[in-house]
Protein backbone atom coordinates (compact mmCIF):
# COMPACT_ATOMS: atom_id res chain seq x y z
CA UNK A 1 0.00 0.00 0.00
CA UNK A 2 1.42 3.35 -1.03
CA UNK A 3 1.11 6.55 0.92
CA UNK A 4 -1.25 7.79 -1.82
CA UNK A 5 -3.63 4.86 -1.41
CA UNK A 6 -6.01 6.57 1.06
CA UNK A 7 -6.25 9.54 -1.32
CA UNK A 8 -6.88 7.25 -4.31
CA UNK A 9 -9.51 5.29 -2.37
CA UNK A 10 -11.38 8.53 -1.63
CA UNK A 11 -11.71 9.41 -5.32
CA UNK A 12 -14.90 8.49 -7.16
CA UNK A 13 -14.64 4.85 -8.23
CA UNK A 14 -16.94 5.17 -11.24
CA UNK A 15 -15.19 4.56 -14.55
CA UNK A 16 -14.22 7.48 -16.71
CA UNK A 17 -12.69 10.85 -15.93
CA UNK A 18 -15.86 12.92 -15.63
CA UNK A 19 -16.54 11.96 -11.98
CA UNK A 20 -12.98 12.86 -11.03
CA UNK A 21 -13.27 16.12 -12.95
CA UNK A 22 -16.49 16.92 -11.06
CA UNK A 23 -14.64 16.37 -7.78
CA UNK A 24 -11.71 18.52 -8.93
CA UNK A 25 -14.00 21.39 -9.97
CA UNK A 26 -15.95 21.06 -6.71
CA UNK A 27 -12.71 21.27 -4.73
CA UNK A 28 -11.60 24.37 -6.62
CA UNK A 29 -15.04 25.92 -6.02
CA UNK A 30 -14.66 25.24 -2.29
CA UNK A 31 -11.35 27.12 -2.25
CA UNK A 32 -12.93 29.94 -4.28
CA UNK A 33 -15.71 30.10 -1.68
CA UNK A 34 -13.19 30.51 1.13
CA UNK A 35 -11.40 33.19 -0.88
CA UNK A 36 -14.66 35.10 -1.41
CA UNK A 37 -15.35 35.10 2.32
CA UNK A 38 -11.77 36.10 3.17
CA UNK A 39 -10.91 38.88 0.72
CA UNK A 40 -12.18 40.95 -2.18
CA UNK A 41 -8.86 40.89 -4.00
CA UNK A 42 -9.54 38.01 -6.40
CA UNK A 43 -13.22 38.82 -6.81
CA UNK A 44 -12.29 42.31 -7.95
CA UNK A 45 -10.08 40.74 -10.62
CA UNK A 46 -13.23 39.21 -12.14
CA UNK A 47 -15.27 42.39 -12.30
CA UNK A 48 -12.82 44.84 -13.84
CA UNK A 49 -15.47 46.72 -15.81
CA UNK A 50 -16.67 48.55 -12.71
CA UNK A 51 -14.90 50.64 -10.06
CA UNK A 52 -13.32 48.37 -7.40
CA UNK A 53 -15.61 49.88 -4.75
CA UNK A 54 -18.58 48.40 -6.64
CA UNK A 55 -17.40 44.90 -5.73
CA UNK A 56 -18.55 44.80 -2.13
CA UNK A 57 -18.19 42.34 0.72
CA UNK A 58 -21.90 41.60 0.43
CA UNK A 59 -21.55 40.79 -3.28
CA UNK A 60 -18.52 38.58 -2.55
CA UNK A 61 -20.40 36.68 0.17
CA UNK A 62 -23.36 36.18 -2.17
CA UNK A 63 -20.98 34.89 -4.84
CA UNK A 64 -19.41 32.63 -2.19
CA UNK A 65 -22.81 31.18 -1.30
CA UNK A 66 -23.54 30.39 -4.96
CA UNK A 67 -20.05 28.95 -5.43
CA UNK A 68 -20.40 26.70 -2.37
CA UNK A 69 -23.80 25.54 -3.61
CA UNK A 70 -22.33 24.61 -6.97
CA UNK A 71 -19.39 22.90 -5.21
CA UNK A 72 -21.77 20.74 -3.17
CA UNK A 73 -23.82 19.78 -6.24
CA UNK A 74 -20.73 18.97 -8.30
CA UNK A 75 -19.14 17.06 -5.44
CA UNK A 76 -22.31 15.06 -5.01
CA UNK A 77 -22.37 14.43 -8.77
CA UNK A 78 -18.82 13.10 -8.61
CA UNK A 79 -20.01 10.22 -6.43
CA UNK A 80 -23.53 9.86 -7.89
CA UNK A 81 -22.82 10.40 -11.57
CA UNK A 82 -25.31 7.73 -12.70
CA UNK A 83 -28.26 9.48 -11.08
CA UNK A 84 -30.19 11.34 -13.77
CA UNK A 85 -31.44 13.99 -11.35
CA UNK A 86 -27.98 14.64 -9.88
CA UNK A 87 -26.37 14.66 -13.34
CA UNK A 88 -28.97 17.11 -14.65
CA UNK A 89 -28.61 19.45 -11.68
CA UNK A 90 -24.80 19.41 -11.97
CA UNK A 91 -25.10 20.14 -15.70
CA UNK A 92 -27.31 23.12 -14.92
CA UNK A 93 -24.70 24.52 -12.49
CA UNK A 94 -22.30 24.79 -15.42
CA UNK A 95 -24.98 26.34 -17.62
CA UNK A 96 -25.74 28.93 -14.93
CA UNK A 97 -22.03 29.70 -14.48
CA UNK A 98 -21.62 30.11 -18.24
CA UNK A 99 -24.69 32.37 -18.42
CA UNK A 100 -23.45 34.47 -15.50
CA UNK A 101 -19.98 35.13 -16.86
CA UNK A 102 -21.23 35.61 -20.43
CA UNK A 103 -23.81 38.15 -19.28
CA UNK A 104 -21.24 40.00 -17.16
CA UNK A 105 -18.97 40.20 -20.23
CA UNK A 106 -21.44 41.02 -22.98
CA UNK A 107 -24.62 42.41 -21.43
CA UNK A 108 -23.68 44.15 -18.18
CA UNK A 109 -20.05 44.76 -19.19
CA UNK A 110 -18.87 44.46 -15.60
CA UNK A 111 -16.15 42.01 -16.63
CA UNK A 112 -13.48 42.11 -19.29
CA UNK A 113 -11.61 39.38 -21.11
CA UNK A 114 -8.90 38.27 -18.70
CA UNK A 115 -7.75 35.03 -17.11
CA UNK A 116 -10.02 35.30 -14.03
CA UNK A 117 -13.07 35.50 -16.34
CA UNK A 118 -11.92 33.20 -19.11
CA UNK A 119 -11.04 30.39 -16.70
CA UNK A 120 -14.61 29.77 -15.44
CA UNK A 121 -15.97 30.31 -18.95
CA UNK A 122 -13.65 27.66 -20.36
CA UNK A 123 -14.38 25.25 -17.50
CA UNK A 124 -18.15 25.73 -17.77
CA UNK A 125 -18.20 25.46 -21.57
CA UNK A 126 -15.89 22.44 -21.77
CA UNK A 127 -17.73 20.67 -18.96
CA UNK A 128 -21.15 21.38 -20.51
CA UNK A 129 -20.01 19.88 -23.81
CA UNK A 130 -18.37 16.93 -22.05
CA UNK A 131 -21.44 16.21 -19.92
CA UNK A 132 -23.79 16.44 -22.88
CA UNK A 133 -21.59 14.10 -24.92
CA UNK A 134 -21.31 11.60 -22.06
CA UNK A 135 -24.94 11.77 -20.93
CA UNK A 136 -25.95 8.34 -22.24
CA UNK A 137 -22.79 6.72 -20.87
CA UNK A 138 -23.35 7.90 -17.31
CA UNK A 139 -27.14 8.18 -17.16
CA UNK A 140 -28.58 4.86 -18.14
CA UNK A 141 -32.26 5.78 -17.89
pLDDT band at 38 (very low <50, low <70, confident <90, very high): very high
Pick from 124, 126, 104: nearest CA to 114: 104
The whole-number average pLDDT for the span 124-128 is: 98
DSSP annotation of 71 reads H
Q: Quickly list DSSP for 28-54.
A: HHHHHHHHHHH-SHHHHHH-TTS-GGG
Whether the per-residue pLDDT at 92 is higher than 80: the answer is yes
The whole-number average pLDDT for the span 115-128 is: 96
**Whole-structure pTM value:** 0.93
Mean pLDDT, the chain, rounded, equals 95
Count of C-beta atoms within a 10 Å radius of residue 71: 20
Whether the per-residue pLDDT at 47 is higher than 80: the answer is yes
Amino acid sequence: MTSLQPFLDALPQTEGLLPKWQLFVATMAFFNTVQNFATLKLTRRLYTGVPPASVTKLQARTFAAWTMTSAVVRGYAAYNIHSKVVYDIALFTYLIAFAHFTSELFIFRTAKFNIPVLSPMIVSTATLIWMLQQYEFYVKA
